[in-house]
Amino acid sequence: MIRLDSVSRVFQVGDQEVPALDSVNLAVGRGEYVSIMGPSGSGKSTLLNIIGLLDRPSSGRYFLEDRDITALTDEEEAETRRNRIGFVFQFFHLVPRMTAAQNVELPMMLGGVPPKIRAERVAAALDAMGLSDRADHRPGQLSGGQRQRVAIARATIMQPAVLLADEPTGNLDRASGAEVVHVIERLVDRGITLVVVTHDPELGGRARRRIRMVDGRVVEDSASNTASYSPTGP
Amino acid sequence: MMRITDIFRFVRNAAGGYRVRTALMLLAMAIGVASVVILTSLGEGARVYVNNEFASLGTNLLIVLPGRNETSGGPPMMVTGTSRDITTGDAMALLRHSSVRRVAPLTVGVAPVSWGGRTRECTIGGSTPDMLSIRNWKLAQGGFPAPDDPDRASPVAVIGAKIRRELFGSHSAVGEWLKIGDRRFRVTGILASEGRSMGFDVEELVLVPVASAQALFNTPSLFRVMVEAKSRDVIERARADVVSTFKLRHQGEEDVTVITQDAVLATFDKILRALTFTVGGIAAISLGVAGILIMNVMLVAVSQRTSEIGLLKALGASRRRILALFLTEAAMLSCVGGLLGLMLGYAGNQAVIWLYPAFPVTAPWWAVAAALGIALSAGLIFGAMPAWRAAKLDPVMALARR
Ligand SMILES: Nc1ncnc2c1ncn2[C@@H]1O[C@H](COP(=O)(O)OP(=O)(O)O)[C@@H](O)[C@H]1O
Ligand SMILES: [Mg+2]
């Protein structure tokens, strides 16, 4: 599903080079539930952005579903993001002037899905998130937990293969965080590949495969020292 | 591929999300387009106005004046003093040409006109009845029974409506005897007021037979000769005939100037068209200014919506898609602004028409088309840079800013 071959990412700040990722090798199979933890600045977000095609490696190779990503055109890359990848952010990133339904509809609108199909799928997705009665509310009228659930509905509306979440509970209280975790894990049960970056040891610990990063390197990977690991889960 | 209707819906939603910014852009565009429409309408109105004035001179008209119009050497437009006078005989000799339909000699002077103790200074024109036909002057009352022979004087006069009012008041004028200078004339007709035309205000004119006017002002010469050509096609031939006749009668001297209405009209037309283009061009500069404002406002929009652009990229919008969305926004705003400007411009024209009903104000189609075209291209040209900036945004950086 996801394969990184000695991927490095170096940021240029002034005339100084800041290494964010240092020769990362990683393979994630279809349907895996992976958490990435580690201190702040260890390169977790950078790794997730590269996996989500929002950023490109400075060196190394990245294969998504056996395609070499570095060879894609901008148009193909955008299409891959739209159809194969879902993103959930710490700060939700809902468009404030659009209703919940319109926000969820956005990827389908960009993909040119016919309006009738869109309406049905938006209604179903909001229903699955328990937000049917909030369809016409704007983000400003929703609680944090509700906003993140709208964002998850939007991230999954195109039925992507991979869901990437960067600190999805980082901006939520315990109760809403738990709700969001519950919603995400239900998606894993239905076969989505999930990579979640988190500071929260409780959330990180729930993942079947746990990765630890320090200074741009993977220092611990539960898959490599657990004999009972299987790509499709227990 | 995103659907066209969705693009418009998205753009409308975005524009509606930032009311002040949108209103500002619309206003700038509207003012630019409206000023183009109004200014070119005024210029075009002036052109039509002058055209109408000339048309009221009469059709296929040639005017003969004494003296040669020097176009080379000496002070420009100077009429040489050594020319001979034009006489009634000269004028009537023109009638034998097949290119000429009518001829009217004209003598002009100013003299006191009095009746019943009231006196006022008036412009006195001496001519023949053909003058009325050539210059499209109508009589409101009575007639002008001047003798067929222009060399015979006769004490008859046709007076303008204002003179009739001022001298006679509520009294009936036709049939009355009045005094012009020290001679007595009988009023035989009243000129209709609507025939106001270049050079003369017919409301304040007194028309007498040409020989009577010559006697009155003690001169054998004419001020002008009005010549009507048979048709538009023979105007040039008529001009040549006029010149050759005078040359023959003035011992080979070409000492008259012939002005054709067409030539004068064409000159005015050219000048006024140039004027219209000029004011239109100046107004178009305000459209350019509107374009720069659009660029500024769009740049602000891009930085305001940075995280939204990052999000759109994360959701699968390509660079081209973002570029198209922002360009569409700029184009749509300038189109709507342009249409508002058209409405504003037409409203302005209506106001001018209401204030000056006699002035023919119409927006020329080419100006309307150019204004809208410039508005749209200004939107696209000045929207391109901000749109390109949006398309190039790094999604990670864009999303990092909340
Ligand atoms: N756009 C950038 N420009 C320069 N340095 C960056 C940029 N993004 C991240 N970094 C640096 O890369 C390192 C990893 O950052 P990040 O992936 O955000 O860490 P984490 O998500 O684990 O906190 C940090 O040292 C950070 O300062
Ligand atoms: Mg981070």
Residue pLDDT, tens place only, B21-41: 889 888 888 988 898 888 888
**pLDDT confidence of residue B57:** 65
pLDDT band at residue B198 using 50, 70 and 90 as cut-offs: low
Residue B101 has pLDDT above 90, yes or no: yes
Residue B317 has pLDDT above 70, yes or no: yes
Cβ within 8 Å, pair B317-A78: yes
Beta carbon of A233 within 6 Å of any ligand 1 atom? no
Cβ within 8 Å, pair B3-A112: yes
Tell me the residue ranges of DSSP E strands in chain A: 2-13, 16-28, 33-37, 59-64, 67-68, 85-88, 162-166, 193-197, 209-214, 217-221
The beta-carbon contacts of A40-44 under 8 Å, at least 24 apart in sequence, are A40/A199, A42/A213, A42/A214, A42/A215, A42/A216, A43/A9, A43/A213, A43/A215, A43/A216, A43/A217, A44/A166, A44/A197, A44/A213
Of A55, A91, A110, the CB nearest to B316: A110
Residue B289 has pLDDT above 90, yes or no: no
Cβ within 8 Å, pair A54-B402: no
- A234 in reach of chain B (CB within 8 A): no
Q: Is B24 exposed, middle or buried (0-12, 13-18, 19+ CB in 10 A)?
A: middle
- Closest residue CA from atom 14 of ligand 1: A43
How far away, in angstroms, is A62 Cα from ligand 2 center?
20
Residue B142 main-chain phi, psi, to 5 deg? 70, -155
Q: Which two tokens stand for residue B246?
A: 């005078």
Find the mean pLDDT for residues B223-231.
90
**pLDDT confidence of residue B273:** 84
Find the mean pLDDT for residues B325-351.
90
Q: Which two tokens stand for residue A79?
A: 């299409």
Q: Rounded distance, CA A144 to CA A131, Å?
A: 13
pLDDT in tens, A198-212: 988 989 999 999 999
- Of the two residues B165 and B284, the one the predictor is more confident about is B165
Cβ within 8 Å, pair B2-A93: no
- A77 in reach of chain B (CB within 8 A): yes
- Helices B365-392, B319-355: axis angle to 10 degrees equals 150
pLDDT band at residue B73 using 50, 70 and 90 as cut-offs: very low
- Ligand nearest A91 Cα, by number? 2
Residue B81 has pLDDT above 60, yes or no: no
Residue A10 main-chain phi, psi, to 5 deg? -120, 130
**pLDDT confidence of residue A232:** 43
Q: What share of chain A is helix, strand, coil (3-state, %, to 5)?
A: 40, 25, 35
Chain A partners within 8 Å of B318 (Cβ): 74-75, 77-79
Beta carbon of A81 within 6 Å of any ligand 1 atom? no
How close A52 comes to chain B (CA, Å)? 8
**pLDDT confidence of residue A95:** 93
Q: Which atom of ligand 1 is nearest to the CA of A46?
A: 17
What kind and span of H or E run contains B367? helix B365-392
pLDDT band at residue B45 using 50, 70 and 90 as cut-offs: confident
Residue A195 main-chain phi, psi, to 5 deg? -120, 120
- Closest residue CA from atom 12 of ligand 1: A20
pLDDT band at residue B343 using 50, 70 and 90 as cut-offs: very high
pLDDT in tens, B110-157: 999 999 889 999 999 999 999 988 888 889 889 998 887 889 999 999
- In this structure, chain A runs to a length of 234
**pLDDT confidence of residue A233:** 39
- B318 in reach of chain A (CB within 8 A): yes
pLDDT in tens, B49-60: 887 777 666 668
pLDDT over 90, % of chain B: 38
Residue B79 has pLDDT above 80, yes or no: no
CB proximity list for B53: less than 8 A, separation 6 or greater = B197, B198
* Cβ-based contacts under 8 A for chains A and B: 72
* Mean pLDDT score across all residues of chain B: 86
Range B231-266 burial, b when 16+ CB lie within 10 A, else e = eeebbebbbebbeebbeebbeeeebbbbebbbebbe
How far away, in angstroms, is A194 Cα from ligand 1 center?
22
Which of A7, A11, A48, A197 maximizes ligand 1 atoms within 8 Å of its Cβ, making it the mutation to test the pocket?
Answer: A11
Nearest alpha-carbon partner for B228 in B266, B199, B260, B257 = B260
Q: Are strands B118-127 and B205-209 parallel, antiparallel or unpaired?
A: parallel
Segments in chain A below pLDDT 50 = 226-234
**pLDDT confidence of residue A109:** 93
Chain B partners within 8 Å of A109 (Cβ): 2-3, 6, 10
Residue B10 has pLDDT above 80, yes or no: yes
The beta-carbon contacts of A137-142 under 8 Å, at least 24 apart in sequence, are A137/A99, A137/A100, A138/A96, A138/A97, A138/A98, A138/A99, A138/A100, A139/A92, A139/A94, A139/A95, A139/A96, A139/A98, A139/A100, A139/A103, A140/A96, A142/A100
How far away, in angstroms, is A66 Cα from ligand 2 center?
27
Residue B338 has pLDDT above 50, yes or no: yes
The residue whose two tokens read 């509970």 is A169
How close A79 comes to chain B (CA, Å)? 6
Residue B314 has pLDDT above 90, yes or no: yes
**pLDDT confidence of residue B74:** 39
- B21 in reach of chain A (CB within 8 A): no
Q: Are A194 and A2 in contact (CB under 8 A)?
A: no
Amino acid identity, residue B256? Answer: V
**pLDDT confidence of residue B58:** 65
Which of A46, A164, A200 maximizes ligand 1 atoms within 8 Å of its Cβ, making it the mutation to test the pocket?
Answer: A46
Domains of chain A: 2-223 (3.40.50.300)
Q: Rounded distance, CA B245 to CA B231, Å?
A: 19
Residue B345 has pLDDT above 70, yes or no: yes
**pLDDT confidence of residue B333:** 87
Chain B partners within 8 Å of A55 (Cβ): 395-396
**pLDDT confidence of residue B32:** 87
Q: Rounded distance, CA A84 to CA A93, Å?
A: 19
pLDDT band at residue B222 using 50, 70 and 90 as cut-offs: very high
- A98 in reach of chain B (CB within 8 A): yes
The residue whose two tokens read 């997730």 is A48
How far away, in angstroms, is A40 Cα from ligand 1 center?
9
- A83 in reach of chain B (CB within 8 A): yes
Of B317, B319, B395, the CB nearest to A110: B317
What are the beta bridge partners of residue B273?
Answer: none
- A62 in reach of chain B (CB within 8 A): no
**pLDDT confidence of residue B72:** 41
What are the beta bridge partners of residue A3?
Answer: A27, A63
pLDDT band at residue B401 using 50, 70 and 90 as cut-offs: low
Q: Are B105 and B222 in contact (CB under 8 A)?
A: yes
How close A167 comes to chain B (CA, Å)? 13
Give the global pTM.
0.71
Q: Rounded distance, CA B277 to CA B280, Å?
A: 5
The DSSP output letter for B84 is P
